[in-house]
Chains A and B, each alone.
Chain A
Amino acid sequence: MTAIDAGQAMGDAAASRSVERQSRRRPRWLRGPALVGVVVMAAWLIVALTLPLWTPHDPLDPVAARLLGPRASHWMGTDALGRDVFTRTLWGARTSLPIAAAVIASAVIVGTIVGALAGFFGGWLDAVFMRLVDITMAFPPILLAMAITASLGPGIRNALIAMALVWWPIYARLLRAQVIAVRQREFIESAWAIGASRWLILRRYILPMSYTPILVNATMDFGQVVLLTASLSFIGLGARPPSPEWGSMITEGALNPYAWWMAAAPGIAIVTVVLAFNFVGDALRDSFDIKETVR
């Protein structure tokens, strides 16, 4: 850059250079625990997707003597039926992760629709929706999920439905608060003045500005849903044996207290997943908060 066309050209070049640098570098929040979290999440995802191609043993068939302790051939030992615990734990991810994703997705979708409509239109619609939210949130989530699953009949599909029913009000309330806050902003008023339709304003102006806390919460909640799925299975309302699921594996482990590895393996799996999502969620929240305060 020569000194002659300093002014604008320089400014533009500097701007584009800094944009380039930012996009090439790794995002600022992705460090420390968050980086660990992302790596763990990615590892579990790869396991869940590719496991059938390289599974060490069959998760359902007895492959060795019963209740063998951890050893080179069976890293986490075998269970009461002689199945490989390590294999079953890996397979558990293929149950827990899709379920958690489905629960979060449906809760976010329902919560978004309800929260956006309630916050945007207000009035009786808001009152009806929010009382519904209040009623749902008045129950402890695990109790309500248990009650719903029990009444629908135990099973992984009903557990999923129950958890989605328990979880959507959180997102509805979150989004409603955001929508109400964003609705007051001046660029919304100027959008009205320019004659934008309600639908356009809600979809293009309000929702994109309201989504940050939903994103953070959904990340954090993913771990919680994994935990809740395991809890429901633990008390026999989720996955039924013999399917490899972390909660029901812990139940089996609890029946064989001297075979500590039977409960420890799925327990460790749950801990890693929950922690990973919490780390990432935390970092995302911090990163978004900083942006807000700078502005």
Chain B
Amino acid sequence: MSWSATDAATGGPDPRTPILAIDDLRVTFASSSGPVPAVRGVSLDVYPGEAVAIVGESGSGKSVTMLALLGLLRNATVTGAARYRGTNLIGLDPATLRTIRGAKVAMIFQDPMTSLNPVLTIGRQLSLVMRSHQPGLSKRDAANRAVSLLDQVAISQPKRRCDSYPHELSGGMRQRVMIAMAIANNPDVLIADEPTTALDVTVQAQIMELLGELRIEHNLALILITHDLGVVAGAADRVAVMYAGRVAETGPVGPLFADPGHPYTRGLLECLPRLDERHDIQVAIPGVPATPQSLPPGCPFSPRCSFVEPRCSEAEPMLAAHGETMAACVVRTEVPA
């Protein structure tokens, strides 16, 4: 991949002010069997132009966190704060939020096959997206810009493709169109929710490369939601590992991979198949992921943890320094790194 952790330091007008500051975000869904706490206090700062990966198993709350800050969750109670350039998005009135969502903070979804409007041509959809945020934009200008956007996301014959319907495009091309829509209004933050999961491996690499190029070109802060640690290693500056609705560990990608603090992060990394070792049986973390409905007392990872001690079930651990990362583990963080 053509970009690395050092890019982040040079990009952006003021890289030390977070462009998106998530502070103690909590999301609770109401269900027939009582409230379900899906996200339980997530804090995360995203700086201009940096790529942050949020890693976790299904149900760890990574997507829900992002949907919550864009106000895209129904029937959920969201508390805490998520400040975009100082404006708290949580509890913001829907009209104001709509001017930010899609224009300043854009999101692309996992499945490009179902994320495009099947009855509108690509060009029409791109124009609609632009004109709904920039009412002054003329139809002609929007159409011209649609062509240049398709060109930017490396779609061949962009002029012709504007007249295509989504079903005429392949999965990779559709994801490129989704990306073109997301960057159409020049956002500062792009949230990509597993953007490559539904695609072939070769196409995955192309899409990741495209996101990387666009990030540098437009100084985008990229939030990459994924469960693919390979993608993380190649594309992210920083990583936040989520488990059971909380951040288990966060830190720069290098140190976190080299010396993970949290046993869960270790477990995830050990699960990765490696080319330089022979595995007859793939290693897995024992047990099943904690669900929001049945959280163990204390550390949510304790029932599956090989480092577990009696005090682990006393209180839920807070993030504490472990080397260059921050880990929520009482056992591992007290060990001098």
Contacts and interface: CB of A to CB of B under 8 A. Distances in A.
Interface of A: 8, 12, 15, 185-187, 189-197, 200, 204-205, 208-209
Contact of A185 (B100, B114, B132, B168): B114
B109 A191 contact: no
Contacts of B111: 186
Contacts, number: 68
B72 A195 contact: no
15 contacts: A12-B157, A185-B114, A186-B115, A187-B118, A189-B109, A190-B115, A191-B117, A193-B70, A194-B101, A194-B129, A194-B181, A195-B132, A195-B133, A197-B132, A208-B119
Contacts of A8: 156
Interface in B62-103: 70, 72, 98-103
Interface in B115-170: 115-120, 128-129, 132-133, 156-157, 160, 168
Contact of A197 (B98, B119, B157, B182): B98
Nearest to B129: A194
B132 A200 contact: yes
B168 A195 contact: no
Contacts of B160: 12
Interface residues of B, number: 32
A196 B124 CA distance: 13
Given A186-B114, A187-B117, A193 B101 contact: yes
A205 B101 contact: no
Nearest to B110: A186
Interface string B176-218: 0010011001000000000000000000000000000000000
B321 interface: no
Contacts of B70: 193
Given A15-B168, A186-B114, A193 B107 contact: yes
A186 B198 CA distance: 14
A295 B70 CA distance: 31
B156 A190 contact: no
Nearest to B97: A195
Contact of A193 (B109, B117, B128): B109
Contacts of A191: 117
Given A8-B156, A189-B109, A190-B109, 18 more contacts: A15-B168, A186-B115, A187-B114, A187-B117, A192-B72, A193-B72, A193-B106, A194-B182, A195-B100, A195-B101, A195-B103, A195-B133, A200-B132, A204-B117, A204-B120, A205-B117, A208-B119, A209-B119
